[in-house]
Structure 1
Amino acid sequence: MSSLLPRSRTSFPVLTDWLENAWPFAEHNLMRIEETAEEGKYTVRAELPGVDPAKDVHVTAEGGLLTITAEREARTEEKGHSEFRYGSFRRTITLPTGADPSKITAKYTDGILEVVVPFETDGAGKHVEIEVTQKK
């Protein structure tokens, strides 16, 4: 499993967790994801518990970008106490070179959205010759 391309997310997941829990003005609607690229498949798994995937989750691919948006509204009531959570979520991820957006599939199971994007690589990387010079 390997990650592809620089992502628009922090390099410090612990910092993200701290901000999410401690900073009063932090974005509380973070969409946690994991990405892998194996055997010609780029897979993004997004943690989206408590959403109705048929109604509240949208996946789009355009211009080399994959965007996942979701909205959640949940309410709990017990013995004179009620609580609700709601919010919008959005993540945009750069697709790998050779991705085929026409063949994207998505499934939602137990609060996890899994998006699979097939991609092709020509397998031939470009070798760069290094010029060696000596100071005189």
Structure 2
Amino acid sequence: MSLLPAHRRGSLLSEFTDLWNAFPPGMVPVFGTHLLRVEDTVDDGHYVVRAEIPGIDPAKDVEVSVHNGQLTIRAERSERHEEKGRSEFSYGSFVRTVTLPTGAQDQGVEANYAKGILTVSVPMKEPKEQVKKIEVKPGE
């Protein structure tokens, strides 16, 4: 599970994902899952996360949840056992958790899947900048 924010372009995250997913099945260290590749934007009052998950049935193989300011996407792609050649496709469990930005709402979240891309849209409200003044008491 990754708790790294998705909006770090140019970071080592994509290189880490490639390295992680290069392990042969059954040899993936510690967790046994693959990281999902994601991109995120804030667009028209919504935080939008897109995840690359080709070859799955969205009704059966994907779970999207929001809990405590975290958006989690889980997917499972089952391997087809065909002996006609080699495969570099990734199979098994895929998971990604991203921290939602300030103002993200857990009500009204929508998820759509088309052409191998899962798009999750989280409504956002304008954060209220509240300044709380603290009384300073004289010491003795």
TM-score of the superposition, structure 2-length normalised? 0.69
Q: Aligned residues, how many?
A: 120
Q: Structure 1 unaligned runs (5+)?
A: 1-5, 127-136
- C-alpha RMSD over aligned residues: 3.2
- The corresponding residue for 1:131 is none
Task: Among all aligned residue pairs of Structure 1 and Structure 2, give the percentage whose two residues are the same amino acid.
Answer: 45
Aligned residue runs from structure 1 range 46-125, under 5 A: 46-75=51-80, 77=82, 79=84, 81=85, 86-122=91-127, 124=129
Q: What TM-score do you get using the length of structure 1 for normalisation?
A: 0.70
- Kindly provide the CA deviation profile for residues 24-70 of structure 1, in whole angstroms up to 9, marking residues without a partner as x: 75567221000111221100000111111100100011111111111
Do 2:36 and 2:53's aligned partners in 1 also have CA atoms closer than 8 Å? yes
* Cα 1:85/1:120, change in 2 over 3 Å: closer
2:5 corresponds to which of 1, 4, 7: 7
Q: Describe the SS at the equivalent of 1:102.
A: coil
Distance 1:70 1:99 in 2: 23
* Structure whose residues are more often strand by fraction: 1
Contact 1:51 / 1:72 at 8 angstroms: preserved in 2? Answer: yes
Query: Aligned partner of 2:60: which letter?
Result: K
Comparing 111-120 with 11-20, greater Cα deviation is found at: 11-20
Q: Which has the larger displacement, 111-120 or 87-96?
A: 87-96
Task: Point out which structure has higher relative CO (alpha carbons under 8 A, 6+ apart).
Answer: 2
What are the within-5 Å matches in structure 2 for residues 19-58 of structure 1? 19-21=20-22, 25=28, 29-58=34-63
> By how many angstroms is 1:115 displaced?
0.1
For 2:67 and 2:36, the matched residues in 1 are separated by 20
